[in-house]
Amino acid sequence: MSAAIEILLVEDNPADVRLTVEGLREARIANNLNAVMDGDSAVQFLQRQGRYINAPRPDLILLDLNLPGLDGRSVLRFVKEDPRFKVIPVVIITSSDAESDIIKSYEAHANCFISKPIDFQGFCDVIRSIENFWFTVVRLP
């Protein structure tokens, strides 16, 4: 195992951010979670603009679709259309399981789509499955 992986969490709900932090704390893999609260911040983070000038390049993006300002779909489109970032895997984590959201996400080349489970155990299971998939099965570029 290499150094701790960099994860970018784009999520406007602090409770969810905290929950993700707690979930990842229990994870096997060393990780470094960076959370931003809206889509504009996410784009700035990736482009190392403003206060994110020293931001690390994320190895994985956890993206909520419903965001204030620039929404999750626009962020996804930005990531997948920019050759610098499009190799970064994006996991959509959202409470919306509406069909249209799912289809639009896949059309924009989201790598994975996971509905937010309601209970914490389920959430931890999701985090773990992401870890397994991305860091033990897939060799990242």
Partner 1 sequence: MVAFDSLSRQDGLVAGETTLAGAETGSRARFTPRHFRVGIAGKIALLKISFGLITAVVVSAFLYHSMFDFVVRERQAELSAGLDLATSGLSTAFEDADRDALFLLRTPAMKGFLRATTNGGTDPLDQSSLALTSARVADLFGALLSARPNYYEIRFLDRNGNETVRVERAADGSIGPVAPENFEAKADRPFFSEAAKLAAGQTYMSDVDLQRHGAALALPHRPTARISTPVHDARGGFIGVVTINVDAQRLFSAVQKFLGSRAQIYIANERGDYLVNPDANETYGFDLGHAYRIESDLPALAPLLADASDRYAGLADDRSRTALLLARVVHFDSRLPARRLVVAAEQEFSIPFTELLSSGLPIVGIAALILLMGGITALVLLRVVVVPLRGIRAAAFDLAAGRRHANQTRLTRRDDEIGDLARTMDYMASAIAEREDQLAAQAAELRRSNQELGQFAYVASHDLQEPLRMVGSYLELLSRRYKGKLDEEADEFIAFAVDGATRMKRLINDLLGYSRAGSAPLKWEKVDIAEVLKNVVSALTVRLEETGGIVDVGPMPMIIADGAQIERVFLNLVDNALKYHSDAAPRISISAASTEAGWSFTITDNGIGIDPRFSDQIFEIFKRLHGRDQYSGTGIGLAVTKLAIERHGGRIWVTPAEGGGSTFQFVIPQSRMDA
Binding site for partner 1 (CB under 8 A): 13, 15-16, 19, 22, 95, 116-121, 123
- Token pair of 37, please? 């609260």
Q: In what order do the strands lie in the sheet with 60-63?
A: 31-36, 5-10, 60-63, 90-94, 112-115
d(CA 139, CA 141): 6
Exposed (0-12), middle (13-18) or buried (19+): which is 116, by Cβ within 10 Å? middle
Residue 5: CB minimum distance to partner 1, A: 23
| 78 versus 123: smaller Cβ distance to partner 1 | 123
d(CA 83, CA 68): 25
| 50 versus 68: smaller Cβ distance to partner 1 | 68
| 98 versus 140: smaller Cβ distance to partner 1 | 98
Residue 124: CB minimum distance to partner 1, A: 9
Distance of CA 68 to the CA centre of its chain: 16
Residue 114: CB minimum distance to partner 1, A: 14
Under 8 Å between Cβ of 42 and 51: no
Residue 46: CB minimum distance to partner 1, A: 27
| 116 versus 128: smaller Cβ distance to partner 1 | 116
